[in-house]
Amino acid sequence: MKKHSGQQIVAKLREADVAIGQGLTVPEVCKKLGVSEQTYYRWRQKYGGMSPAAIQELKTLQKENARLKRLVADQALDNAILREAAAYRGN
Give the rounded percent of residues in the chain with a pLDDT score beyond 70. 97
Q: What is the pLDDT of residue 18?
A: 94
CB environment 1-29: b (16+ within 10 A), e (fewer)? eeeeebeebbebbeebeebeeeeeeeeeb
pLDDT in tens, 39-66: 999 999 988 888 878 888 988 999 999 9
Q: What is the pLDDT of residue 1?
A: 59
Q: What is the pLDDT of residue 84?
A: 93
DSSP classification of residue 91: -
| pTM: predicted TM-score of the whole model, two decimal places | 0.61
Nearest 5°: the CA angle 43, 15, 4 is: 45
